[in-house]
Every structure is written in structure tokens, then in C-alpha cells.
Amino acid sequence: MSHPSPVRTICCIGAGYVGGPTMAVIADRCPEIQVTVVDLNAERIAAWNDPDLSRLPVYEPGLDAVVGRCRGRNLHFSTAVEPAIAAADLVFLSVNTPTKTKGVGAGQASDLRWIEASARQVAACSQGHTIVVEKSTLPVRTAETVQAILTAAQGEGAPGDGSTPGKSFSVLSNPEFLAEGTAIADLENPDRVLIGGEDPVAIEALADIYAHWVAPEQILRTNLWSSELSKLTANAFLAQRISSINSIAAFCEATGADVQEVARAIGTDSRIGPKFLKAGPGFGGSCFQKDILNLVYLCGHYGLHEVAAYWQSVVDLNSWQQHRIARLVVRRLFGTVTGKRLAVLGFAFKADTNDTREAPAIRICRDLLEEGAQLAIYDPKVCAAQIARDLGQAELPAEASERQALSGEGSWRAASSAFEAGAAADAALILTEWGEFAQLDWQALAAGMRQPAWVFDARAVADAAAVRAAGLQLWRVGEG
Ligand code: NAD
Ligand code: UDX
């Protein structure tokens, strides 16, 4: 589907999990548009430019092929922010918006310092008319702030003779709905693209870009505030389903029901639908918790305290589920894991990504370390340095961990395979649903473990019959 677009040059500020893959797909689908992704983080930009496509900073199935097709043609990664903004007809703001850690709203509100800084950079460096698109997930009414910053620069840069117009801006909201691990498929075949704005010409210019590959009826147009709020609402609803199914999983375990059977039974109701009903160790990722906490904060700000409490409970249930799993591991291992070796299989917050932000594995591993466990952690895509940062504790080599075990202090080391992690372990914990964990040779793994040994399958992905046939005891989330 080819479609003309008045936009010839795009700049995206933020080369992260959203900016990188999203711009790669736009460049792939719109060969006549030059797309430059800029970031302050030189190391990240260098990794995006690495000739070895297996070393891109974001792991996503299919991303390497898309980048390989476009990079150097009409897709560029650079630390030169100012010239890229100056040359752009349209700028995406795709910077991080994490939860504030201090000051007003700490622990709930989004930290908007990066969005403000990038809006100021656009105000300072843009030339002529620029469409400014919020791609980051933002509190409802943030566009007002962005607009105020840009308005202050409006008209600047016009020569005295009035021959060329000065700066002007149109602000749009275009939240991203991709999920990590399936980002390329989600971007190439989105359920919908959402564009919020007040300027019809700018809205159509952005819609024309997506119209290169997205059907017209899937490009939704709303006002700015509805667009901003729809993103928070979508994440809140999705997370709520996970807390709901996890609450029922605990109830299944107590009553002898099986959550997979319950999920299948309710998922066939077309009003409920089958997706997002997988019980697990709780949701992780950089979005759900942050966006719900932001919703909670905003509801409180508007005096809607019952609404705030309702959404807060989704996050609380999630934290409870993560601690519950750590506690039940301890209980089943005769009430103590001090000095015991435990194999942790999977550390990323979900399969097919190297992202560990808010991964359930972090909280579960920390709880087990606190109990004095010796963890051997294996994840196919997460490096040891990242695990060390997340656990706030350095890796200990095998001999040192022996000494640590005797002292009762918890320690961890990285393993390069599930088998290495399982050697001499009392239990294996599956915390991420990597495909390879569904295919494990449990006979071989069990042979290296200390008996009686357990498998704690927090993702319900292991072949239960094979686990039991190997003589291992099995706990599976939601199975009574
Ligand atoms: P990220 O942390 O991976 O990337 C953000 C990047 O922006 C960083 O590399 C940072 O260095 C850069 N940056 C910050 N300020 C800058 C500035 N002034 N100039 C240049 N670069 C700057 O974050 P992400 O996961 O890509 O998320 C970005 C936004 O998209 C967030 O608002 C997030 O909520 C939203 N979102 C994320 C996902 C997801 O799955 N990760 C999905 C949908 C929406
Ligand atoms: C989410 C939203 O899905 C996406 O639309 C938004 O743009 C960003 O936030 P993401 O966090 O990347 O995407 O992944 P998602 O697939 O939603 O999974 C989030 C967490 O929920 C993961 O930890 C995952 O394992 C967990 N999950 C998901 C479950 O436990 N059960 C499920 O049924 C689905």
C-alpha cells in the first residue's frame, strides 16, 4: 500500500525499546522518509550502529532483519540531537517516563523530566513548522506542558524580512501499544494506531505515515486527552486481568481446581476472550506498574480516592503474588533454603526479550537471597552484569559461594545453561516462559540435582508428565 505523505524527515528522541523498533518499522515501510533516531546515551547509539546485528541493544525477534534492511539507507542512529531535530518535519518524543523516586508524588507519579528536556530541545533546535508527537506514555494532559514549552519558542527564527516563516508546532499524542518480545509483529500488524490531536492537517500527516501499511479503519483519531488516557487505561485493564487470574490461581491451589482449566473455560466466553489469562509469577516490565501507579496518582489528584484504591489493589495483588511464590518455595523445601542451591531458570520479565525492568524474578530472587539461598541463574538473553545491577549484589564465584553458604548469607552466580544451573540444586524455579524450558530433558537435569528435588514452575510451561517421570516433585502455579 503506497500513500503520499508530506513528512519527508523524522527525528525520534529516545533510542530505547520503543524508539528503536518503532522507527525501524516506519523506515522499513516508508522508504521515501529519512528517519533519524537520537539518544544522549552514546553507548546505546553505538550498539544500534554495531555491524554485528546480533548485538543491537534491544533483543526482539525479527528486529535484526528490519534494521539490516534500512540502516544506512533511510534509518540512522546518532547522538547528534540538534541537527536531527533541525532537519525534521516530525519529531517523536520517545523518552523514558519512569515513576518518580523523590519529591512530590514519589513512588506514584511519572517523572517527566526527560519529556520536558526533549520538548525544550525541540523548541530550541527546530526550524519552520514541526509536528511534535508524544510517543512516550504520559499522564493525561501532558500535551498541555509540551505545548506551553513549544509556544514560548513560536515565531523564533524568522528573518527580519519575513521571507521564511518562523518556528511553529502542532502537538499530537500517538501512544505505542507494542509489547516486548512481539514488538516487530505488533508494529507491523497493530490492532490499532491511535492519534490524538487538535490540528487536522498534522493528524492526517501522521496518519499518512501509518497508512503505508495499516488499514484506514485501524487508524483511530481522538482528542489529545482521550489519546493520552487510553494508553494508561489499556495498560491498567491488561494488568488487571493478570492480577485477577493470579488471584484465582492462588484460590485454585487452595481448592484443588486448576487455573489453566478455569482460564480455558472462562476464556471461551466471547465477552471475556482467551488472551491475557495466563497465571504466573506476577506481571513485570517497565510499563504496567508504572502506568497504574500514575493512574492512581492522577485519580488521587482529582479527589477520586475510591478509584485510586481500586487500581492500587491491582499492583498490591501483583506484589503479593511475587512474595507468595518465594514463600512457598521456602515452605516446600522443609522450611529453609539457607545454604541450599536453587536453579533459577529465566530472569527476563517475559520470554523473547532481554529486558529485566520490574521482572518478577528480581523480587523472588531477592526474597530467596534474604533467606540465605545460593542461586544459579540462567537466562538465554540476560547478561550477568544486568542481574547484578537488578539484585544489587555482585556475582560470587563458585568457591566463594561455598564459604558464603556456610555463613548463611545468600549469594548468586550466573549459569550458562539450565543444566549448569541445576547441578547439585535442591530445586529449579521457572520464572520466565522461554521456549527452551518447555523442551527440557528433565531426566538429565534430575540426574544432577540433589534428591529429593523440586521443580517450581511459576509459568506452567514445563512438561508436567516428564518432570514427574524424572522423579522430581512439581509445584505448578494455579494447580491445586
Ligand atoms: P527506554 O528507557 O528504553 O528508552 C528511552 C531512551 O530515551 C533512553 O535511551 C534515554 O537515554 C533516552 N533519552 C531520555 N532523554 C533524552 C533526551 N533529552 N535526548 C535524547 N535521548 C533521551 O524507554 P522505553 O522502554 O523505550 O520507553 C519509552 C516510553 O515509551 C516510555 O514512556 C514508556 O512508558 C513507553 N512505552 C514503552 C513500552 C515498552 O514496551 N517498553 C511500550 C509502550 C510504551
Ligand atoms: C505491555 C502491554 O501489553 C503493551 O500493550 C504496552 O505497550 C506495554 O506494556 P509488555 O509489558 O512489553 O507490554 O508485555 P506484556 O506481554 O503485556 O507482559 C507484561 C507482563 O505480564 C509480563 O511479565 C508477562 O509475563 C505478564 N503476563 C502477560 C502474564 O503474567 N500473563 C499473561 O497472560 C500475559
Could you tell me if the CB of 125 is within 6 A of ligand 1? no
CA of 287 to the centre of ligand 2 (A): 8
Q: What is the pLDDT of residue 162?
A: 64
φ/ψ of residue 442, rounded to 5: -70, -30
DSSP annotation of 216: G
Task: Give the separation between CA 109 and CA 114, rounded to whole angstroms.
Answer: 14
CA of 174 to the centre of ligand 2 (A): 20
CA of 83 to the centre of ligand 2 (A): 36
Residue showing cell 533511510: 74
Residue 454 has pLDDT above 70, yes or no: yes
Q: What is the pLDDT of residue 311?
A: 98
pTM summary value: 0.95
Q: Taking Cα atoms as reference points, which of 421, 476, 471, 420 lies closest to residue 442?
A: 471
The catalytic site residues sit at: 287
φ/ψ of residue 412, rounded to 5: -145, 155
Query: Residue with the nearest Cα to atom 16 of ligand 2?
Result: 179
Residue 3: pLDDT band (50, 70, 90) is very low
Counting ligands in written order, which one lies closest to the CA of residue 190?
2
Task: Give the separation between CA 131 and CA 154, rounded to whole angstroms.
Answer: 13
> Which atom from ligand 2 is nearest to the alpha carbon of 183?
12
Structural domains in the chain? 9-222 (3.40.50.720), 318-476 (3.40.50.720)
Residue 12 has pLDDT above 90, yes or no: yes
Query: Residue with the nearest Cα to atom 20 of ligand 2?
Result: 283
> Which atom from ligand 1 is nearest to the alpha carbon of 117?
18
Could you tell me if the CB of 235 is within 6 A of ligand 2? yes
Residue 405 has pLDDT above 80, yes or no: no
pLDDT tens across 319-335, in order? 999 999 999 999 999 99
Q: What is the pLDDT of residue 5?
A: 67
DSSP per residue, 77-124: EES-HHHHHHH-SEEEE----PBP-SSTTTTTSB--HHHHHHHHHHHH
* Mean pLDDT of all residues in 90-98: 97
Q: Taking Cα atoms as reference points, which of 71, 76, 72 lies closest to residue 36?
A: 76
**Regarding beta strands 193-197 and 168-173, do their DSSP bridges make them parallel or antiparallel, or are they unpaired?**
antiparallel
Could you tell me if the CB of 352 is within 6 A of ligand 2? no
* Mean pLDDT of the chain, nearest integer: 96
Q: Largest Cα–Cα distance of the chain, in whole Å?
A: 86
Q: Considering only CA atoms, give the Rg of the chain.
A: 24
Q: Taking Cα atoms as reference points, which of 181, 480, 207 lies closest to residue 348?
A: 181
Counting ligands in written order, which one lies closest to the CA of residue 259?
2
pLDDT tens across 25-44, in order? 999 999 999 999 999 999 99
Could you tell me if the CB of 126 is within 6 A of ligand 1? no
* Mean pLDDT of all residues in 41-61: 97
Could you tell me if the CB of 39 is within 6 A of ligand 1? yes
CA of 432 to the centre of ligand 2 (A): 12
* Mean pLDDT of all residues in 65-76: 98
> Which atom from ligand 2 is nearest to the alpha carbon of 350?
25
* Mean pLDDT of all residues in 361-386: 98
Task: Give the separation between CA 23 and CA 93, rounded to whole angstroms.
Answer: 12
Query: Which of 349, 362, 379, 437 gets mutated to test ligand 2 (max ligand atoms within 8 A of its CB)?
Result: 349
Could you tell me if the CB of 192 is within 6 A of ligand 2? no
Residue 15 has pLDDT above 70, yes or no: yes
Q: What is the pLDDT of residue 158?
A: 72
Residue 442 has pLDDT above 90, yes or no: yes
CA torsion sign for 459, 462, 465, 469 is negative
Q: Which amino acid is at 206?
A: L
Could you tell me if the CB of 70 is within 6 A of ligand 1? no
Could you tell me if the CB of 412 is within 6 A of ligand 1? no
Residue 192 has pLDDT above 50, yes or no: yes
* Mean pLDDT of all residues in 217-244: 97
CA of 428 to the centre of ligand 1 (A): 34
> Which atom from ligand 2 is nearest to the alpha carbon of 234?
5
Query: Which residue(s) pair with 9 in the sheet?
Result: 34
CA of 271 to the centre of ligand 2 (A): 20
> Which atom from ligand 1 is nearest to the alpha carbon of 137?
32
Q: What is the pLDDT of residue 19?
A: 98
Task: Give the separation between CA 463 and CA 129, rounded to whole angstroms.
Answer: 58
pLDDT tens across 270-315, in order? 999 999 999 999 999 999 999 999 999 999 999 999 999 999 999 9
* Rounded (5°) CA angle 270-271-275: 70
Peptide bond into 98 cis (omega under 30): no
CA of 433 to the centre of ligand 2 (A): 12
Could you tell me if the CB of 71 is within 6 A of ligand 2? no
> Which atom from ligand 1 is nearest to the alpha carbon of 41?
11
Counting ligands in written order, which one lies closest to the CA of residue 349?
2
Q: Which residues of 347-360 are buried (b: 16+ CB within 10 A; e: fewer)?
A: bbbbbbbbbbbbbb
Contact 283, 316 (CB under 8 A): no
Residue 216 has pLDDT above 50, yes or no: yes
Q: What is the pLDDT of residue 398?
A: 76
Report how far Cα 289 is from the mean position of its chain's Cα atoms. 10
Sequence-distant (6+) residues with CB within 8 A of 248 are 259, 262, 279, 478
* Alpha helix ranges (H) inside 171-273: 183-188, 200-210, 224-255, 259-267
Could you tell me if the CB of 13 is within 6 A of ligand 1? yes
Could you tell me if the CB of 176 is within 6 A of ligand 2? yes
| Percent residues over pLDDT 90 in the chain | 93
Q: What is the pLDDT of residue 163?
A: 67
Q: What is the pLDDT of residue 326?
A: 98
Q: What is the pLDDT of residue 1?
A: 42
* Mean pLDDT of all residues in 93-101: 97
Residue 361 has pLDDT above 50, yes or no: yes
Q: What is the pLDDT of residue 44?
A: 98
Contact 20, 37 (CB under 8 A): yes
